Amino acid sequence: MSRKIVISVSGKGGTGKTTLTSLLLKWIIKNTDEVALVVDADPATNLPDVLGVELDRTVGQVSKDMKDQIERGDLSPTTPKQDLLEAWVFQTLMESDRFDLLAMGRSEGEGCYCYVNNVLTRILDTLTKNYSISLLDMEAGIEHLSRRTDRDVDVMLVVTDPSKMGFETSKRIKELIEEVHIGVKKTYLVGNRFPPQLLDVLEKAADDIGFELAGNIPEDANVQSFNMTGKPLLDIPDDSPSYRAIAEIAKKIGLENLV
């Protein structure tokens, strides 16, 4: 693969961002030889569970450790803290033969989150350069856009469920991309759980907002049961309706041309 692609997944809470990220990762694993970088940029850190892996630490935790050490005076004033923090963050990267995973996590303490975000943004810039494909599962809502965690992504997938709030959030994301001049090369709307009779509403919403539609992931009993029983979504059967929809989405967003 010659080109690199950074894909971020955003949208209202609970619309299916983590599900889409996991299913796209499954597609990448099945259709390419690439070891993708997957970033859980949601403080709730759900992605490792859904992927069936365990993470020792998050970026939030290591930055809290650093803050504590500074406060206790354990670090000499001359220690290059940014470099040290970066090194610690790299150590939290979970590497497997199928994908590498970094989780941002939550950070405690006032003002700390912003700092962690700045560090993460810098580290993401460095890290994504080492991978042909990077997938970022963003925090729900629009905050990450003002923090610019996902600036300079190639493809932003905005997920909406069949709800007014889902559309409203998608619209707000579109406005913010323009307002804060984020260098997103291409944005798409992705529907999740739209029944066939509402697909025209989804198409119209995409048109109204000004997003190209990448597709719709249908309601899928397999996704539910994998979630309920804690089975990794990567193992969902290939003929599951949700996964079949992913092949179309991968094609639409140009992933297929890369492999």
User: Which of helix, strand or coil describes residue 156?
Assistant: strand
> Please, what is the minimum distance in Å from the beta carbon of residue 22 to Mg ion?
9
CB nearer to ligand ATP: give 11 or 64: 11
Query: Is residue 169 at the binding interface for Mg ion, with CB under 5 A as the rule?
Result: no
> Please, what is the minimum distance in Å from the beta carbon of residue 193 to ligand ATP?
5
User: Which of helix, strand or coil describes residue 39?
Assistant: strand
CB nearer to Mg ion: give 21 or 240: 21
Terminal-to-terminal C-alpha distance of the chain: 6
Return the amino acid letter for 11: G
CB nearer to Mg ion: give 17 or 64: 17
Q: What are 39's strand-pairing partners? A: 102, 136
The two tokens of residue 85 are: 């923090």
CB atoms within 10 A of CB 150: 25
Query: Is residue 140 at the binding interface for ligand ATP, with CB under 6 A as the rule?
Result: yes
> Please, what is the minimum distance in Å from the beta carbon of residue 107 to ligand ATP?
18
Choose which of 25, 217, 246, 253 interacts with ligand ATP (CB under 6 A). Answer: 217
CB contact set of 28 (below 8 Å; sequence gap of 6+): 34, 36, 99, 133, 135, 255
Give residues 33-62 in contact with Mg ion (rule: CB under 5 A).
46
> Please, what is the minimum distance in Å from the beta carbon of residue 232 to Mg ion?
15
Query: Is residue 45 at the binding interface for ligand ATP, with CB under 6 A as the rule?
Result: no
Choose the stretch contacting ligand ATP; rule: CB under 6 A; options: 10-18, 86-94, 122-130, 205-213: 10-18
**Beta-sheet pairing, 99-103 with 133-137:** unpaired
> Please, what is the minimum distance in Å from the beta carbon of residue 46 to Mg ion?
5
Whole-angstrom distance, CA of residue 157 vs CA of residue 160 = 10
Q: Closest CB to Mg ion belongs to which residue?
A: 18
Query: Is residue 220 at the binding interface for ligand ATP, with CB under 6 A as the rule?
Result: yes
CB contact set of 120 (below 8 Å; sequence gap of 6+): 41, 59, 89, 104, 149
